[in-house]
Structure 1
Amino acid sequence: MRRIPLSEFAKEHGHTKAAQILGCTQGGLSKAIRVGRDVYVTVDEDGTVTAQEQRPFPSQKSAA
């Protein structure tokens, strides 16, 4: 099992192919990277690829 940041996964595969692998659009992937979302991609030994975002709990922003 390998766990890497989304930006590194996109660099390895190219944004278009990485988005296709993850089941999202290239624009969505690029925006997630651009705004600094804390997303990690896990590549399992059998080739299965999943992505998860780490967010603080509770994740709602305060209205300050």
Structure 2
Amino acid sequence: MNETSLDEFVAEKGQSEAARLLGVTPPAIYKAIAARRHIRVLELSAGVFQASELRPFPSQATKLQVA
């Protein structure tokens, strides 16, 4: 199994092919890279890829409440 960042995967495969292999649209790939999301792509077998994202928890900033 081979694991790479989304940036490296797109550089190797091209944006359209990367999107097709991951089952998303090319604009979704562009937006994920532009937003600097931490997405890793894992090659499960020849030609089968899976992407996962590491996100902080909670994913949205919590606002402090002043009493």
- Structure 2 length-normalised TM: 0.85
Aligned positions, number: 63
Q: How big is the shift at 1:40? A: 0.4
| Aligned partner of residue 59 in structure 1, secondary structure | coil
The one-letter code matched in structure 2 to 1:18 is: A
CA RMSD of aligned residues (A): 1.2
User: How far does residue 18 in structure 1 lie from its aligned partner after superposition?
Assistant: 0.3
Residue identity (%): 38
| Match in the other structure for 1:30 | 30
Q: Which amino acid aligns with 1:21?
A: L
Q: In the alignment, does 2:45 pair up with 1:61?
A: no
Q: Where does structure 1 lack aligned partners over 5 or more consecutive residues? A: none
Deviation of the 1:6 alpha carbon: 0.3
Q: Which residue is equivalent to 2:3?
A: 3
TM-score by length of 1: 0.88
Residue equivalent to 1:16:
16
